[in-house]
Structure 1
Amino acid sequence: MTAQPAHEDATTSAPRCWCCGAERRDDELVHLGNHPEVAVCVGCARWLHRRATQLEDAQHPTIAGRWRSVVHSARTYVIDKGWHQRGVLGVLLRRIDRHLP
């Protein structure tokens, strides 16, 4: 009858995304280079990449950055209208979104 340390329970549970908190297998998470204890899921990594690109575009404006800004505005409009959740149209929009910056 020995007491179990509390930290053992945390290590036996499934790893979680530090961004959204979703439980994932370790091979489904992206680990940060100097901080391997920090990991995010692929969806959050994609979102972080888009945010980093927006910051870079704001700091160093280019024609490509303006095009990405237009795409971002269109993406925001579609999400605000809820079109991404509408049957076949939603499937098509989400598929297109995977290939846009």
Structure 2
Amino acid sequence: MTKTAIDVDDVGGPAVPGCWCCGDRTVAASLLRLSCHQEVGVCFRCVDWLSKRKREVERMTRAAPPGPWWRRMQYRAGFNGC
């Protein structure tokens, strides 16, 4: 079985789109496409998992609070009093 330039198998019709995260074969309408890379499609289940993972990473990497320079330095040094 070989593929041509338009992504069609010799045996069947056009290739079924799949999720780039889990590999689940699904209809193209249920895949979320990335704006910069339209070839990348992610299913809704993986979108939910990726958003949870994003929140976990954000919680692990705390940002310094806004304020005067010396307060930011105290926060980074660990003298925040919390």
TM-score range with shorter-chain normalisation? 0.5 to 0.7
53, 56, 78: which one pairs with 2:55?
53
Give the equivalent residue in structure 2 for 1:31.
33
TM-score (norm 2): 0.61
Number of equivalences: 57
Q: Which residue of 1 aligns with 2:18?
A: 16
Instruction: Look at both structures and tell me which one has the larger radius of gyration over its CA atoms.
Output: 2
Give the counterpart letter for 1:8 in structure 2. Answer: V
The one-letter code matched in structure 1 to 2:40 is V
Shift of 1:60: 2.0
- Whole-Å separation in 1 of the counterparts to 2:42 and 2:30: 9
In the alignment, is residue 5 of structure 1 matched against residue 26 of structure 2? no
TM-score, with normalisation over the residues of structure 1? 0.50
String of CA shifts for 1:7-63, please: whole Å, max 9, x gaps.
322x812100001111111110011110110011000110011001111111127xx
Q: Structure 2: state its 5+ residue gaps.
A: 64-82
Identity %: 35
Equivalent position SS for 2:8 = helix
